[in-house]
Amino acid sequence: MSDLGLNAPQHGGQLGEGYGRLRAAGPDFSHGIALYLEKVSVWFDAFQALNDLSLYINEGELRCIIGPNGAGKTTLMDVITGKTRPTQGTAFFGQNYNLAKMSTEEIAEAGIGRKFQKPTVFENFTVMENLLLAAPKNKQVKKSFFSRLEPDAQLALEQSLEQIRLKGLINKPAGLLSHGQKQWLEIGMLLMQRPKLILLDEPVAGMTDAETEHTAELCLELKKNHTLIVVEHDMSFINSISEKVTVLAQGAILAEGTLAEVQTNEDVIEKYLGR
């Protein structure tokens, strides 16, 4: 394509007319950073859900975010995906996408995929049908015939099925899957969009120990070619996947470091762990 000529970062809301060009280019990670949040505050009327929060996620990083209920973890994901606008501060995906100026659809297209807390698969459709329905709109060609998918969509499908471990269950209605399998299917649906950055909000809530272990393996596999942000309360799960952990409390960062470091942090013990 001739219009991929983005080079210098141009912080300053250059969407609008240039958006088509930006979308074609994809996120610019040339500085090694996938996500920049700078001094982000979110107010809901008189309540401040995020308080001057700055967060930088490197490309290829798997960042865990923990913290008490109401800390602002889901609000943070809402800001990244465009569901909630920052009242103040800036949010960039790579050097070039100003998230505060993009719609949720534009953000998804730019390469940010999110799994919500509750699985939202189509229960009456099979595993395969759910994955095909999740393919980007223009890729949904001949969706009833696996072999006749566009090569790109078919590759995404095969890779998704492999990663979510549902290859043997493609014809099973999603409603008959276990809770854990539904969660993996939803991750698979996310992968159909070929995201660069994946956000998982409490992925192992309600899972059995075995399902939790599988999910940890899945996260580590996804990390090989994605940037991930994982919000969870389950400390043994966090322990099995984590590199850097960010602890959020009252809309602000309380501590950052390895899990062992933050678990021995006095503030973290007082405000989160030691109840």
User: Least Å distance between CB 42 and ligand ADP?
Assistant: 8
Of 69 and 144, nearer to ligand ADP (C-beta) is 69
Of 50 and 192, nearer to ligand ADP (C-beta) is 50
Cα–Cα distance measured from residue 63 to residue 199, given in angstroms and rounded to the nearest whole number: 10
Of 74 and 215, nearer to Mg ion (C-beta) is 74
Cα–Cα distance measured from residue 256 to residue 74, given in angstroms and rounded to the nearest whole number: 18
User: Least Å distance between CB 187 and ligand ADP?
Assistant: 19
**Per CB under 5 A, which region of 73-81, 192-200, 217-225, 262-270 contacts Mg ion?**
73-81
Contact with Mg ion (CB under 5 A) among 27, 74, 78, 262: 74
Taking CB atoms, the residue at the shortest distance from Mg ion is: 74
Q: Which of 186, 5, 219 is nearest to 96 (CA)?
A: 5
Which residues, including other chains, have CB under 8 Å from residue 2's CB and lie 6 or more apart? none
Of 32 and 70, nearer to ligand ADP (C-beta) is 70
The SS3 call for residue 91 is strand
Q: For the sheet containing 97-98, what is the strand order?
A: 47-58, 33-44, 88-93, 97-98
Of 74 and 183, nearer to ligand ADP (C-beta) is 74
- For residue 199 the two structure tokens come to 């956000």
Neighbours of 90 (CB within 10 A): 17
Which residues, including other chains, have CB under 8 Å from residue 11's CB and lie 6 or more apart? 90, 92, 95, 98
- Using alpha carbons, list the distances in angstroms from residue 5 to 1, 54, 91, 256: 9, 29, 23, 36
**Partner touching 44 among Mg ion, ligand ADP, none, CB below 5 to 8 Å by kind:** ligand ADP
Q: Which of 274, 275, 229, 268 is nearest to 249 (CA)?
A: 268
With both helix axes pointing from N to C terminus, report the angle between 151-164 and 179-191 in degrees, rounded to the nearest 10. Answer: 150
Size of the site for Mg ion (CB under 5 A): 2
Of 68 and 136, nearer to ligand ADP (C-beta) is 68
**Partner touching 160 among ligand ADP, Mg ion, none, CB below 5 to 8 Å by kind:** none
β-partners of residue 63 are 229, 244
The mark string for 40-79 relative to ligand ADP (x by CB under 6 A, - otherwise) is ----x--x-x-----------------x-xxxxxxx----
Of 27 and 72, nearer to ligand ADP (C-beta) is 72
Should residue 196 be labelled a site residue for ligand ADP when binding is judged by CB under 6 A? no
* Window 105-164: residues binding Mg ion (CB under 5 A): none
**Per CB under 5 A, which region of 69-77, 132-140, 153-161, 214-222 contacts Mg ion?**
69-77
User: Least Å distance between CB 218 and ligand ADP?
Assistant: 22
List of residues contacting Mg ion (CB under 5 A): 73-74
The binding site for ligand ADP (CB under 6 A) comprises: 44, 47, 49, 67, 69-75
